[in-house]
Chains A and B, each alone.
Chain A
Amino acid sequence: MNRKDNVSLEERTFFKRLDLNFAFVIAALNLIGLINLYSATHGVHSSGNSRLFWMQMVWLSAGWLLYLLVTLVDYRVFVRLAYLFYALNLGALVGVMVAGKSFYGAQRWLDLGFFRYQPSETMKLVMVLVLAKILANKSTQEGLSFRDLAIPGVLTLVPFALTVKQPDLGTALLIAAIAFAMVMFVRVKKSILIIGLVGFLITAPLVWNFGLKSYQKNRILNFVYPGRDPRGTGYNSIQSKIAVGSGKVLGKGFRKGTQSQLEFLPERHTDFIYSVLSEEHGFIGSVTTYGLFLVLYIMGIRIASQARDRFGALIVVGVLSYLFFHMFVNIGMVIGILPIVGVPLPLLSYGGSSLLATMAGLGLVSSVSYRKYLF
């Protein structure tokens, strides 16, 4: 009797502490993702590929386990171990260079037998932890100085350079963007802002001329002039726009998209998943899904503001920027306001690395939320 009471008390405490609303929003997005992935892989017009759908179910279960696990562990443990994670992940990135699997001309994966692990994907989260650890102790009212930025700068630059080398410019830029967002949140001195801006304006043309590969330039040029190469890289962008627009208000219906189903879009289950959704479920569907993301951000920002220490607040800000940048770049690409970059849409795109990393990140947010009452 007594023992049973204890258990129920403990359970109640756990669920009370757990941010259930946050978890529901995530689950809702997961559900949309699964339904949509099913459509993308089991279209009426295309030959099915059910393996992908079942794999995603496996990843999703693993993702939720990870989410709960991370929630239960005090996030300060992760902060303490941040440098270890960083070292391990950097090792994996170097490993990719040496023994990585090459797909579409880029080495991004390590083959672990059951799973192709993409170290640059987890590196984004590890960066959040490392930067939270450093920046939490550096914060002052007047902003970060050059000296304060030296170590975070170097720690960002190394994985950035390794990822560029793969080559995976999209992921590298996301790593940089997350670091940038966290630093800006902590604030930097005005003088550094100005110097940074000037430096960017000077290096940008140099990078364009010497740093970018021709396919990368083509993507950007095709974005600016979509008719430039309607058969090549511009093709995806045009087809994606047709798919999204043809959904109109209500969409063509589940599994009835013609653009995406007829394989006008080559990577419809990964990078172009949002265009499948928009085509089949129309403005209603795409806005609803976007709305769920918005709710997730608003809840996240609230959790950050209620965090019990700076580590927690910074971790949440980092994870949120991770989610936000991915979503913005991916959807922006699908609807033709950004150039084509191979970035997955969190929680919706097919892919184990992305899903597990996202769920782990959301677990961190949940963990911060879980401990806001514990003092």
Chain B
Amino acid sequence: MSGGDYLNNPEQEAKEYNQRYKYLYIIVGLASLLILGRLWHLQIIQGQELRQYSERNRVKEVKIPAPRGLMLDRNGEVLVDNLTGFEATISPQYAKKLEETAKAVAKALDLETEKIIKDVKRSKRQNGPFRAVKIKDNLSMDEVFRLKILMWDHPSLRVRETIVRHYPLEVIGAQLFGYVSEISKSQIEKFNNRFSGKFQFEQGDIIGKQGLEQEWESEIRGFDGLDFVEVDARGRQALTDTPTFLGFESFPETPGKNLVLTIDKDLQLAASEAMNQQDKIGPRIGGLVAVKDNGEILAWVNSPSFDPNIFATGSSSKKWRELINDPFKPLRNKIIQDHYPPGSIFKPIVGLAALEENVITPTTAIQSPSQLKFGRRIYHNHSRVNYGAINVKQALEVSSNVFFYKMGISLGINNIAKYARALGIGEKTEVKMRDERSGLMPTEEWKQKTFGERWQPGENLSNAIGQGFILTTPLQMALAFNAIGQEGKLYKPLIVRRVINNRNEVIKEFEPELKRDLSRNEELALEFQSENSDSKTVTISKNNFKTIKEGLRRVANGDRGTARWWKIPGVEIAGKTGTAQVRSFSADQIYNKCTERDVDQRHHGWFVGYAPAEKPVITVAVLAEHACAGSSGGAPVVRDVIRAYIEKYHPEWIKQPKPRKKKIVKAASPAPATETPAEESGDSSDELKTQNEESSEI
């Protein structure tokens, strides 16, 4: 047969295919064998077994939620744990009279019937009939009993035990621990794409939303267990075996791992109490962080705060809105998520730079008159005091602005930045928490790049006293001051010390980590400096650290120290007060006393202190927003926290021990009321005045 004549003879054409139909029969025949064989296998051979499962028994899926891991403090005391509660559910599979059930439940629990029906129907569509639908959680015992009675008539109704996250410290440290709540729809998708396999989220799952809860989710969260139980037509458990031959495989829940923190619970309580002390200033707004000598975080308190327990039990949107709209931002972790100008607490770093760059020696006395003319502007000491010729230790003690203006002029911003950055100012501390601010340590190049403008010589002055562009976080300052106290050892902050399982076996351990060691012995220094003068590794001699430490000691102990009213008998505190400008004021406002202004226009007060002054074991940084000054706003708070720590761990250091034990009792600070306010308001408004004069004259 050739192809040419087909069209003329269609009958012949079609016959060409005749040999091929047998293949169609063969294919259909083989497929039929396969299908009929399989039907035989399922319906005749396995029929009886499968009939039993389909008719007498139904499989019910029971999810066994895994409890989240605990958070313990450094001594094993519970900071975050779980409570058991009860929730009401409806299983769509057995809800044959859903309307009636919903009506009865709505009446018992004071809910809306329509909403219950809607929720059940939606879940049935989305998750299948096995999944029980949560109607209400956190039931009261009263409600539980009411439902228990209803359960007889409504087999789909169940009361389930649940696990509720519990924060015994309530508002204290809420921003550190974070909170948990139900996973959002967008998160389900995001997480399930990221983690494949067993770690799958679904609607209704609880997840960490902030702080350590969020950061350590994968450790804290266990794996939910899954059980398939056979139940009879009324939903009651029928057999104890699990029907494994169908591929159902139940697995037990795995509890989450526990975190052992470096936090000290007592200190956390003391810190909160100190922040809320009832002195003239009242409860502080801001943050407090206490660091051990090796970088371990001992206390972490923000104020005002919120109670994370309200989220764990299903927060009302009203409460949530209140928190969001609160002008003092209780949800914010101000210790790392906000940055502030450091003000005078920056002076020790400038002092170190001046010593290292040989602008001064420890004994060089510099004239520090009440004011200094630079360019066309006049810069003042606070309260326009003339300190005469003072050295760097004395300058720190009295917090002389003019002394450090002069240092700023001689050093220039780049030399200051070199040492400030070495001490961690303007860089992230690498605390393992989300949204940490890096702060800012400017240089001449930075300004050129950011604003396209040259660095003005006058800016050396304002930045030398911690105003101007410099921004820092409380945590950065605490670690920097600890590094000064440790004579050069800058640590990374450590919060989670160990991850342990329920049998107390250590899964992961985290050691304190030195970020860099700046200290240098004097003999080595000479050759070191001459050989690598432009080496990137900045070092600071131990003697210079000692000089600055002496200055800081005098702040709290000297006759003219700006924080000399707050002492602990037997233990010397060292530290530095600071005042950070909130906003610039017009000329007439600037002369008002800080405390007479509206709260949101008052300056922030800083105090960063450590003790003992010689060889510190603890450093505490306090930022008190709108507290006007660091000496009265921050220093008493720091003192109280340090005292609590020393009373607990080194009680023998304290002389003439007072009758009170461990915890600090609300005690008005023995601050001389007449002396401090003058000092503070002078301190702050003078600093501001220089700012104002600058701006008015430019």
Contacts and interface: CB of A to CB of B under 8 A. Distances in A.
Interface of A: 45, 136-137, 139-141, 185, 187, 225-228, 230-231, 234-235, 238, 241-249, 252, 258-259, 262-264, 266, 278-279, 282-283, 286-287, 290, 294, 297-298, 301, 304-305, 307-310, 312-313, 317, 320, 324, 328, 331-332, 335-337, 375
B510 interface: no
Interface in B390-419: none
Given A245-B42, A324-B28, A234 B247 contact: yes
A328 B31 contact: yes
A335 B39 contact: yes
B contact residues, range: 35 or more
A313 B48 contact: no
* Chain A interface SS verdict (over half): helix
A317 B25 CA distance: 12
Given A227-B248, A243-B54, A308 B10 contact: yes
B46 interface: yes
Interface stretch (B12-20, B288-296, B369-377): B12-20
Contact of B25 (A230, A278, A301): A301
Most buried by A among B3, B6, B28: B28
B-side binding surface: helix, strand, loop or mixed?
Answer: helix
A281 B44 CA distance: 13
Contacts of A332: 34-35
A29 to B, nearest CB: 16
Contact of A230 (B42, B55, B249): B249
Contact of A310 (B10, B25, B247): B10
A212 B14 CA distance: 41
B43 interface: yes
Nearest to A234: B247
A241 B128 contact: no
Nearest to B25: A301
Contacts, number: 151
A294 B40 contact: no
B54 A140 contact: no
B54 A259 contact: yes
A294 to B, nearest CB: 6
Residue of A226, A290, A335 most packed against chain B (CB within 10 A): A335
B14 A278 contact: no
A309 B7 CA distance: 9
B20 A140 contact: no
Nearest to B40: A283
Contacts of B247: 225-228, 230, 234, 238
B40 A304 contact: no
A120 B536 CA distance: 68
Interface of B: 1, 3, 6, 10-11, 13-14, 16-18, 20-21, 23-25, 27-28, 31-32, 34-36, 38-40, 42-44, 46-51, 53-55, 58, 61, 93, 96, 124, 128-130, 228, 246-249
A148 to B, nearest CB: 11
Contacts of A235: 128
B48 A248 contact: yes
Nearest to B125: A266
Contacts of A246: 47, 50-51, 53-55
Contact of A335 (B17, B27, B42, B248): B42
Interface centre among B1, B35, B93, B124, by most A CB within 10 Å?
B35
> 7 closest A-B pairs (Cβ-Cβ)?
A227-B247, A245-B50, A246-B54, A248-B47, A309-B10, A245-B42, A283-B43
Contacts of B228: 230
A292 to B, nearest CB: 12
A247 B43 contact: yes
B39 A139 contact: no
A18 to B, nearest CB: 21
Contacts of B1: 141
A290 B54 contact: no
A305 B28 contact: no
A282 B61 CA distance: 28
6 contacts: A228-B247, A230-B249, A245-B46, A262-B58, A290-B39, A313-B17
A241 B24 contact: no
A334 to B, nearest CB: 10
Given A230-B249, A245-B49, A262-B58, 17 more contacts: A139-B3, A139-B16, A225-B247, A227-B249, A230-B246, A231-B61, A242-B54, A246-B51, A248-B43, A259-B54, A264-B129, A283-B47, A298-B25, A308-B10, A309-B11, A310-B13, A317-B24
B156 to A, nearest CB: 13
B25 to A, nearest CB: 7
A329 to B, nearest CB: 11
A234 B228 CA distance: 15
Nearest to B37: A337
Given A227-B247, A242-B246, A185 B17 contact: yes
Contacts of A324: 27-28, 31
A336 B44 CA distance: 16
A332 B246 CA distance: 18
A319 to B, nearest CB: 12
Contacts of B50: 241-242, 244-246
Given A328-B31, A337-B34, A245 B18 contact: no
A264 B25 CA distance: 37
A241 B25 contact: no
A253 B23 CA distance: 38
A140 B3 contact: yes
A282 B40 CA distance: 10
Contacts of B25: 298, 301
Given A185-B17, A246-B54, A248-B47, A287 B36 contact: yes
B188 to A, nearest CB: 14
A305 B35 contact: no
Contact of B129 (A225, A245, A263, A283): A263
Contact of A305 (B18, B31, B46): B18
A331 B35 contact: yes
A294 B24 CA distance: 12
A45 B96 CA distance: 8
A304 B21 contact: yes
A372 to B, nearest CB: 10
Contacts of B6: 137, 139, 310
Given A242-B53, A331-B35, A286 B14 contact: no
B29 to A, nearest CB: 9
Nearest to A266: B128
A268 to B, nearest CB: 13
Contacts of B27: 324
B451 to A, nearest CB: 48
Given A226-B247, A231-B128, A235-B128, A336 B43 contact: no
B211 to A, nearest CB: 32
A249 B128 contact: no
Contacts of A298: 25, 28
B636 to A, nearest CB: 59
Contacts of A297: 24, 28
Contacts of A258: 54-55
Contacts of B40: 283
Nearest to A307: B14
A242 B247 CA distance: 12
B73 to A, nearest CB: 39
A305 B249 contact: no
Contact of A244 (B17, B24, B42, B55): B42
Nearest to B98: A47
Given A235-B128, A249-B47, A320-B24, A290 B36 contact: yes
Contacts of A286: 39, 43
The interface centre, meaning the residue of A298, A312, A328 with most chain B CB atoms within 10 A of its CB, is A328
A245 B36 contact: no
A140 B13 CA distance: 10
Contacts of B31: 324, 328
B380 to A, nearest CB: 68
A178 to B, nearest CB: 14
Contacts of A313: 14, 17
A248 B35 contact: no
